[in-house]
Structures are given as C-alpha cells and as structure tokens.
Structure 1
Amino acid sequence: MLSTLNSLFIAAVLAGTPLLLGALGEILTEKSGNLNLGVEGMMFMGAITGLAGSYYYEQAVTKSGGTPNGAVSAVLALLVSFIAGSFGALIYSFLTISLRANQNVTGLTLTIFGTGFGNFFGEYIGQKAGGYVTVSGVTKDAFSKLHIPVLSDIPVLGKLLFQYNWLVYFAIILAVVMAWFFNKSRVGLNLRAIGEDPATADAAGINITKYKYIATIVGGGICGIGGMYMSMVTTKGVWVHGCVSGYGWLAVALVIFATWSPARGILVALIFGGLTIMRMYIKIPGLPAQIYDMAPYVATIIVLVVTSMRQSKEHAQPKSCGLNYFREER
C-alpha cells in the first residue's frame, strides 16, 4: 500500500506539472485584468513547436555529420514553445487591448485556432517524416530524470529529490518566483493594481497598455511551455494527435481553485494531477474506467460551485478581469 501511494505521488507530480505551468501563465495574465480562455490553444501551439524545434535541430545536426546535444535540444524546445505560446497571446492582446474585442470570445477563438494549429502541423510534419514525428533518444534522455553528480547519489535524499525531469523543478521555482513577484516587487504590485482598478492605476501614472501586453504575452509563453511538456514528457517525444486533451481547461479551473495564488497552485496542481492518473494506481472493483476519467472534471465543477459560494474578497478574481479598459471612460 505504501509503495502504491509513493508511486501515485510521483505520477501525480509528473501529471500535475503541465497543469501548474498552464495555471501560472493564466494567473499572470489575469492579474493584469485579462481573462484569456485560450490556454488550451496556446498549450497546443507550444506542444507542436517545441517538438518540431527539437526534431528539426536533430535533423540539421545529423545531416551535417554531427551528433545532436540533448541539452541544446531541450533548451531549444523550451524557447520555441515559449515563443509560440507568446505569439498566440500576442494575437489575443492585440485584439482585446488595442482593438478592444470581447475577451471571452477572443479566448475561445484562440483555443480553436491553437488546437487546429497544433494538430494540423503535427500531422503534416509526421507525414513528411514518414508516418509520425519523434525525437531521438538523446533528446528523450534530456527530459528524463534529472541527474546531478554527487547530489543525486546521496542515499534516500538524493533519490527522493532528484527523481523528476528538470521541467518539474522549473515549474516549482517559477511558482515561487511569481509568488514573490506579486507580493514583494514594485512591478508585481503595479500589475495587481491594474488588475483591480486600471483607472486608478492609470491616474497614478502606470502604463496600463504596456503592463497588460507584457503580462499577457509572457503568460501565454508559460502556457506554451506547459504544452511542450505534454509532447516531450507525457507522450515521450512522439507527436500524438490531441495530446493536450483538455489540460488547458483544467489549468483554467486550477487558477480558480488556487485562488489566483502561484504558491497554492503547486498543491492544487498535485491534487489535480493525482486525479488524472488515479485510475492507474487505485482500482475499485466494479467501478467503470469512465468514472476515473470524469474525476478531475467533477472536481472542477465542485471547485467552481464552492468558490462562487464563498465569495471571499481576499481570494477573489481581480476585479477588472474580463473587462476591457477604456481610458476615456475613466
């Protein structure tokens, strides 16, 4: 039983990491007052571009007679997926901030666009590659367990701390840094002020447009990295049609569950990650597999109901979230 729980915990951390990355990107976006429902689309864009970046890097190096470097391939996947997610968020920002389009409609459109973008180019590159696209073992090893000389060899502690891939630690560090950023830095406090009352922030001399653009674009880039995790870690470097499979929507719900707190997002991502893979470790006789698949979505509904009933001002959504700012109406 103890061994099963340990395995479940490890799997929950791995499954919860892309949810955490998606949620962190959306938290940053919503803190600026923008409600971007295109997380799923940006994750799809990051998933295919991250995989394609590593794949084409390996092809180029191999054709030139060299040997691909796993670390370079991994960093390239990270950067390309961030750029792809940022590009999706840039489209959203231009439409909602500059053209003042409806945020909900624009976000849903971005989800449709990003999903089609990812699946189309995934199939296209796969056909060009001879049926399906996959990276080599060198890159796959770069996304396996993190090994740090000496530290990883420490009995018990080394095995406990260094049994995940580097993206897990990246996500946790990012959550901690974002928590500090929102609560301690001047820029973070300005961003929160914009999310709560952009008119007052504007009167105080804060550049609303610049803050909204940067926060939304960077947030989209983080969502793109979450998508790259799905294609490089979850599916082990092989493109699988529809690989994000609703994780973007779960990430949006996770933002509400975490009450817009990056630090609480770590725990909530662990819980949701556990729910998504629970069927593999805890089996109840006679319980259909579909019930297990429904668990994270049922939890999402419960969270939304409980959150709406509590109406806590301290842990509420930023007041201007979802509303376009018109300076003329200040």
Structure 2
Amino acid sequence: MEIGGINLVVLVASLMVAAVPILLAAIGELVVERSGVLNLGVEGMMIIGAIGGFIAAVTTGSPVLGFLGGALAGAALSAVFALLTLVFLANQVATGLALTLFGLGVSSLAGQGYNGIKPPHTGDVPLGPLADLPVLGPILFAHDWVVYFSIAMVAATWWVLKATRIGLVLRAVGESHEAAHALGYKVNRIRLLAILFGGAMAGMGGAYISLVRVPQWVDGITAGAGWIALAIVVFASWKPWRALIGAYLFGGISQLQLNLQAAGSVIPVEYLSMAPYLVTILVLVIMSSGRGRAGLNAPAALGQNFHASR
C-alpha cells in the first residue's frame, strides 16, 4: 500500500520504533509528575542513558545489559535531582534545566573514544509465522523486545495508577502532599521512588536511541527527544494511554518527514521537522500558566517542594 511513493505499512511499523524512546521517557515523567514533582531534566537523563547504555553494551557485548546500564545511568542522574529538590529544597524547574545541561556535558566527555563504534545488534523477537502475515506481520510482529516492553509499561502504569493502593497513594501525594503527610504517608520517600523510576525509564529510552535507532554514539544524539517527552505528558493530560497515542503521533511526524524527503515530495520537509518542537514549546507555555495547568487537570501539587516541618 503506497500513497505518494510512501509505503504505509513501512511507515506505521517504523513510527512504532521511532516512538519508543519518547514513550519510555514520557511514561517515566508521567509517574514523576503524578507524584507532584516537575523534572525538566528528562533530556539530560536520556542522553546519560544513551552513553551509559552504549558503553555497557559495547563493553559486555550484550544489548540487554546495555539497556540495563542505560536505566541505571538515568536513575543515577535522577538521584542527583532528588537530592537537590527533596533534601535541599532547590527549585525544581531550575534544577531540572541544570540537570539537562549537566547530562549533555557529562555524556560528551564520557563518549570520547566511542565514535564510530557499532554496538551489538538487538534482534527482533522471533514470533514465527506471525511476522510473515501480510500487513499485520510487519506492523505488529517484527519488532525488538523493547517495542513490546514500552507498550507493556504503558498498560502496567495505567493499571498501577488506576487500580492499586500504590497508585492511589502516589496520586494523593501529587494532589496534596500536606494531606498525604497528615495521613502518615512518607511524601519524600514516595517522590524519591517515583523520580528514580522516571530516571530509569528516560535512561532506557536514551539507550534505545544509541543501541537501536541510530545505532552509534554521537554528541547530542537525543536531539530534543526529552523535551518532546515532556510535552507529551502534558498533551496526554497525565494519562498513560494518551501518552501512547501522543508518542505515536510524534513518532509518525518524524518518520513522515523522512519518508517525504526520500520520496522527493514538494512539501518542504522543514515544516514537519519543526512541528514536534513547536508543539513542545506550546504545551510548555500552557503548562507555565496556572490557568492552563488547571484546565489540563495537572496534579495540584505539581512543582511544589515539601518539608515535613512546615
């Protein structure tokens, strides 16, 4: 099936792959923000995860250990954010921005000597005859395990937030940390676990870029994916399934502009290239407005520091 020289089956299959890093980071940040913490350092955690995962995979020869290394690297950087905001009560917005700059610098330093090296291959999940089905085979059954893992994490996050006590407590902390503290919940401990989870997911998303999407190491390899993930969280109104749709829309836009360029379309591909970042700017501007945040049903305590002595 082709329209204007673009194979729709290949386009849909490729957008699912392109959406994985953004989706993983968005799901992690969604959990963080539902706990009442605003971490704008997603880009920094993603690129730290990208280099951490790349080094781990190249050193061990195992892509699985590479993804684990990326998750640990992202979680380690998020722990720095947690220390500054939960213990020292630093401004969350300023700390998140500083975290991104720090991550970009550290990744550039750590990546010296890894340019031009190919990481071990991450193969597709062997699903036998399902992968040979017309149309559905290439779209649904010819991907690596991380694609399916990202979708599973969306379902798991939705279930935990909606149907479990853990999710109820997390949402309560995000809505009113003072009320949650009065009920005996450890607000900072809950937020710390959420921040570490968000960092691990962002780091794994970054590792996917350097191990599968590119796959190689270059400075600035995430190219703003963390900012898009932040926009998707707001676009999704802090709901996991909407984050999946948003990630696929952004992934589709990025793949469409590549396909249009390859097909020699007369439509300037620069417009499509700008679209994700323009939407990112728009939602972040809306998010900075108190009225806009209320309209989007943002967690009431989002971005507010908490101290038990208050």
Shared fold, TM over 0.5:
yes
Structure 1: any 5+ residue segments left out of the alignment?
59-72
Range that drifts further, 211-220 or 6-15: 6-15
Partner of 1:181: 160
Partner of 2:204: 225
Structure 2: any 5+ residue segments left out of the alignment?
none
Describe the shift of the 1:311–1:93 C-alpha distance in structure 2 as closer, same or farther (beyond 3 A). same
Equivalent of residue 299 in structure 1, options 273, 279, 282 = 279
Rounded to whole Å, the distance in 2 between the matches of 1:327 and 1:204 is 12
Q: How big is the shift at 1:319?
A: 1.0
Rounded to whole Å, the distance in 1 between the matches of 2:97 and 2:135 is 46
List per-residue Cα deviations over 1:221-252 (Å, max 9, x = no partner).
1000000011011112x112211010011110
Rounded to whole Å, the distance in 1 between the matches of 2:139 and 2:306 is 48
Describe the shift of the 1:98–1:160 C-alpha distance in structure 2 as closer, same or farther (beyond 3 A). same
2:118 maps to a residue whose letter is T
2:212 maps to a residue whose letter is V
Q: Is the 8 A contact 2:9 2:135 kept in 1?
A: no
Q: How big is the shift at 1:160?
A: 4.0
Aligned to 1:125, the other structure's residue is in SS state coil
Describe the shift of the 1:15–1:195 C-alpha distance in structure 2 as closer, same or farther (beyond 3 A). same
Rounded to whole Å, the distance in 2 between the matches of 1:31 and 1:186 is 14
Aligned: 1:271 with 2:249: yes
How large is the Cα RMSD of the aligned pairs? Answer: 2.3
Partner of 1:67: none
List per-residue Cα deviations over 1:200-221 (Å, max 9, x = no partner).
0011111111101111111111
Equivalent of residue 27 in structure 1, options 7, 25, 30 = 30
Describe the shift of the 1:13–1:158 C-alpha distance in structure 2 as closer, same or farther (beyond 3 A). closer
Rounded to whole Å, the distance in 2 between the matches of 1:25 and 1:282 is 32
How many residue pairs match? The answer is 304
Aligned: 1:318 with 2:299: yes
Describe the shift of the 1:309–1:103 C-alpha distance in structure 2 as closer, same or farther (beyond 3 A). closer
List per-residue Cα deviations over 1:91-116 (Å, max 9, x = no partner).
00000001101111110111011111
List per-residue Cα deviations over 1:134-182 (Å, max 9, x = no partner).
22xxx21xx2432234554566654442122211110000011000000
Percentage identity across paired residues of the two chains:
37
Q: How big is the shift at 1:15?
A: 1.1
**Which of 1 and 2 has greater Rg?**
1
Q: How big is the shift at 1:326?
A: 2.4
TM-score, normalisation: structure 1? 0.85
Partner of 1:104: 93
Describe the shift of the 1:282–1:134 C-alpha distance in structure 2 as closer, same or farther (beyond 3 A). closer
Q: Is the 8 A contact 1:42 1:85 kept in 2?
A: yes
Rounded to whole Å, the distance in 2 between the matches of 1:265 and 1:241 is 27
Rounded to whole Å, the distance in 2 between the matches of 1:117 and 1:328 is 36
Partner of 1:132: 116
Q: How big is the shift at 1:24?
A: 0.7
Rounded to whole Å, the distance in 1 between the matches of 2:193 and 2:285 is 32
Aligned to 1:281, the other structure's residue is in SS state helix
Q: Is the 8 A contact 1:16 1:269 kept in 2?
A: yes
Range that drifts further, 276-285 or 187-196: 276-285
Partner of 1:247: 225
TM-score, normalisation: structure 2? 0.90
Q: How big is the shift at 1:304?
A: 5.3
Describe the shift of the 1:309–1:239 C-alpha distance in structure 2 as closer, same or farther (beyond 3 A). same
1:278 maps to a residue whose letter is L
Partner of 1:119: 108
Describe the shift of the 1:279–1:20 C-alpha distance in structure 2 as closer, same or farther (beyond 3 A). same
Rounded to whole Å, the distance in 2 between the matches of 1:5 and 1:151 is 19
Aligned: 1:327 with 2:305: no
Q: Is the 8 A contact 2:35 2:173 kept in 1?
A: yes
Rounded to whole Å, the distance in 1 between the matches of 2:123 and 2:308 is 49
Q: How big is the shift at 1:320?
A: 0.9
Describe the shift of the 1:95–1:303 C-alpha distance in structure 2 as closer, same or farther (beyond 3 A). closer
Rounded to whole Å, the distance in 1 between the matches of 2:144 and 2:295 is 35
Aligned to 1:328, the other structure's residue is in SS state coil
Aligned: 1:162 with 2:141: yes
Q: How big is the shift at 1:262?
A: 1.1
Rounded to whole Å, the distance in 2 between the matches of 1:278 and 1:324 is 41
Equivalent of residue 76 in structure 2, options 87, 101, 113 = 87
Rounded to whole Å, the distance in 2 between the matches of 1:319 and 1:25 is 19
Q: Is the 8 A contact 2:131 2:137 kept in 1?
A: yes
2:33 maps to a residue whose letter is E
Equivalent of residue 37 in structure 1, options 16, 30, 40 = 40
Describe the shift of the 1:292–1:105 C-alpha distance in structure 2 as closer, same or farther (beyond 3 A). same
Q: Is the 8 A contact 1:44 1:117 kept in 2?
A: no
